[in-house]
Amino acid sequence: MSDTARKLLLGIFLVGVGGIATELWLLGHYEDLDQFIPLGLAAAGTAGVLAAAFKPTSVTVRVLQGVMLLFVASGLLGVWFHYRATTEFQLEMDPSLAGWALFRKAIVAKAPPALAPGAMMQLGLIGLAYTFRHPASRRGGSPGPHKE
């Protein structure tokens, strides 16, 4: 991967994580302990990507990969938590809902948006793409010249 492509991925990640963190903070997505997970990951991801960008070693790249896997996992769990909360709310509003009708109501509901945590998965995949064949992840950990 070219250095330019890696820089673009870094920029996309930082803009995306900054936007998501700001939105979550403004929405008050910190009332429960589990709601802090995406905010904590946003901070860890930002620190990890900056460390890998400015001090690229095999350790910083591997740590970043671990954090990005946590982003993906948190996105999957977040979709589940949001969907579960939405279905519970929909069932309180209309206990007769079931099957496809319940799924449809839950998936298009605005609060909490069931698929919104998917953005964490996207950011995690962008971060993993940034680390793909990263020069510092080779043996020796130095970001010297390499062939692709």
- What pTM was estimated for this model as a whole? 0.86
pLDDT digits (tens, 9 = 90+) for 28-86: 988 888 889 999 999 999 999 999 999 999 999 999 999 999 999 999 999 999 999 99
Q: How far is CA 48 from CA 8, 33, 102, 146, 147, in A?
A: 16, 22, 40, 23, 25
Q: Is pLDDT at 139 greater than 70 in this prediction?
A: no
Q: Is pLDDT at 146 greater than 50 in this prediction?
A: no
Q: Kindly write down the DSSP assignment for every residue of 14-29, as one continuous string.
A: HHHHHHHHHHHHHTTT
Rg of the chain on CA atoms, in Å: 19
Q: How far apart are CA 127 and CA 83, in angstroms?
A: 25
When pLDDT is cut at 50, 70 and 90, the band that residue 141 belongs to is low
pLDDT digits (tens, 9 = 90+) for 109-120: 988 899 999 999
Tokens 């929909």, residue?
90
CA neighbor of 43 nearest in space, from 123, 109, 112, 146: 123
> Exposed/middle/buried for 93, CB within 10 Å: 0-12, 13-18, 19+?
exposed
